[in-house]
Amino acid sequence: MAARSDRPHAALPPGLAAQAAPAGPGPIHPGWLRVTHWLNALAVVIMATSGWRVYNAAPFFDFTFPNGITLGGWLGGALQWHFAGMWLLLANGLLYLGLNLTTGRLARKFFPVGPRGVLADLGAALRGKLSHADPRHYNQVQRLAYLFVIADITVLILSGLVLWKSVQFDTLRALLGGYEFARRIHFFAMALLVAFVAVHLAMVALVPRSLIAMIRGK
């Protein structure tokens, strides 16, 4: 039997050794993750497009969104769609987070993450040297991005509660700087989420098998 090296990935750039490990048995993404992922995607589309129509009814910047990319047809209809998307995002988000915590996936997939590792992986990606040998392993840029999305959606939900029930959530409203400031927080949190989705889709286009894995699990 050939001797095994004690440092099988010593020649790889920082942050790539874990990704070069051979894929283990079983699906890349479990069934519950794939279901919650697509439900989250649906909720984000509903909330973003209906939210643009709501924004158009009382814009606070010098622009509005084209009606053709909004959902709801009018303010009342957009609000109904927005509330439906809100409950889907909240319920599905709690299920996603709960399963990630109870299965240990959150700690296993998203940590450790730190500035040095993020910069190393980002530099490798910009040079076209970031390995995608094992899609089960997230590089540190991916980990940071997914943790950011979890935090961003939390901000969306909290600021949305203030906009929905401002009187009932008066303490939360005060913490967010008042109703109008909460509107702006909600707007920018959604803009950041849409930007993440755009980058995410671009990465999927570069690595198409990641889409297949999220559909089939392998």
The residues spanned by each domain of the chain are 29-124, 136-217
What is the 3-class SS of 3-38, one letter each residue? CCCCCCCCCCCCCCCHHHCCCCCCCCCCHHHHHHHH
Q: Is the peptide bond before 112 cis (omega within 30 degrees of 0)?
A: yes
pLDDT at 96: 93
Q: How many CB atoms lie within 10 A of CB 114?
A: 12
- CA atoms of 190 and 87, how far apart (whole Å): 16
CB distance 65 to 78 below 8 Å: no
φ, ψ dihedrals at 212, nearest 5°: -60, -40
Chain mean position to CA 133 = 22
Backbone torsion region of residue 57, taken as left when φ is above 0, otherwise alpha when ψ lies between -120 and 50, otherwise beta: alpha
- Write out the E strands in 24-160: none
pLDDT at 26: 67
pLDDT at 25: 57
pLDDT at 9: 41
Radius of gyration, alpha carbons of the chain: 20
Encoded tokens for 130:
């970031």
Encoded tokens for 57:
């009814």
Selection from 140, 194, 199 nearest residue 17 by Cα: 140
Please name the amino acid found at residue 115: P
Q: 68: which DSSP letter?
A: G
Residues with pLDDT less than 70, the chain: 1-26, 128, 131-134
